[in-house]
Amino acid sequence: MQPIQNQIGVVHRRIERADPEVVARLSRFGVATVHEAMGRIGLMKPYMRPVYAGAATCGPAVTVLLQPGDNWMLHVAAEMIQPGDVVVAACTADSTDGFFGDLLATSYRAQGAKGLVIDGGVRDARDLKEMGFPVFSRAIHAKGCARATIGSVNVPVVCAGALVDPGDVVIADDDGVVIVPKALAAAVADAADARSANEEAKRARFAAGELGLDMYGLREPLARAGLRYID
């Protein structure tokens, strides 16, 4: 990885994306399942929320490094999008300005983007919901942006506490956003498959009335910890 000072003003046209078949497998699972399957790592900070309830997306990352209050590089990123990509935008300093709205969403959709994750603000929330374009952001804020200071596209970024390399898999839903490094994607998909099957079996047992106290063998450790039942 190059020092960050050498990454300003750079656009990488060619990136290695995660295998499309693996991305399709990961898209079947929610953020919580993938996070657990990956060893409880990869989550962005919990302030990253969907602009509208029910938004969900999964795809390889096109990364953007923004300057505060400046959305120039989001326009540059549009040219780098391939069908199925999710744009992930970080900022060189905290900013909640409205970097993105319905016009850019229309442009991104035309290029085949499946959504945006941005550690900054967005606006036109009602329009984004009506479009059904998944956006996950730090804030919703009507404040506009300039186009005056360059950043970069397709460089490693830290977005809401998570390291994102171009081509990594982004999974986002109502539970938040998780990043799966492309080198681990196949193994994580296998682990998520196994976890999902295990959870389905437990779900059936819960539905039949079994208690977690018995399913997980919790009674003995609770007794050792000193829990007492009083009639």
| pLDDT tens readout for residues 181-201 | 999 999 999 999 999 999 999
On whether residue 146 sits in a domain, the answer given is yes
Q: What is the CATH number of the domain that holds 57?
A: 3.50.30.40
Closest C-alpha to 85, from 35, 20, 139, 131: 20
Question: Concatenated DSSP letters for 129-188?
Answer: HHHT--EEEEEE-----B--S--EESS-EEETTEEE-TT-EEEEETTEEEEE-GGGHHHH
pLDDT tens sequence across 28-39: 999 999 999 999
Distance CA 34, CA 54 (A): 18
| 60 pLDDT higher than 90 | yes
Give domain status of residue 220, yes or no: no
Give me the pLDDT at residue 6, please: 62
Instruction: Write the CA distances from 140 to 16, 45, 124, 125, 135, integer angstroms.
Output: 32, 16, 9, 7, 11
Decide if 206 is inside a domain. Answer: no
Q: Which position has the token pair 């400046």?
A: 70
Instruction: Tell me if 212 is assigned to some domain.
Output: no
Give residue 107's domain range.
4-189
Which tokens belong to 89? 């935008």
Mean pLDDT confidence for 133-159: 96
97: in domain? yes
- Per the domain annotation, does 199 fall within a domain? no
- What's residue 1's pLDDT? 45
d(CA 189, CA 192): 5
Residue 175 within a domain: yes
Which runs of E-coded beta strand occur in the chain?
49-50, 57-66, 86-91, 98-100, 115-122, 135-140, 152-153, 157-159, 162-164, 169-173, 176-180
- Give the three-class secondary structure for 207: helix
Beta bridge partners of 90: 65
Domain count, the chain: 1
Alpha-carbon distance values, 169 to 83, 199, 211, 229 (Å): 14, 23, 36, 47
- Residue 113 in any domain: the answer is yes
Amino acid at 99: F
- Asked whether residue 3 carries a pLDDT value surpassing 70, the answer given is no
Percent of the chain with pLDDT over 90: 97
Distant-in-sequence, close-in-space partners of 23: CB < 8 Å, separation ≥ 6: 58, 59, 60, 84, 169, 185
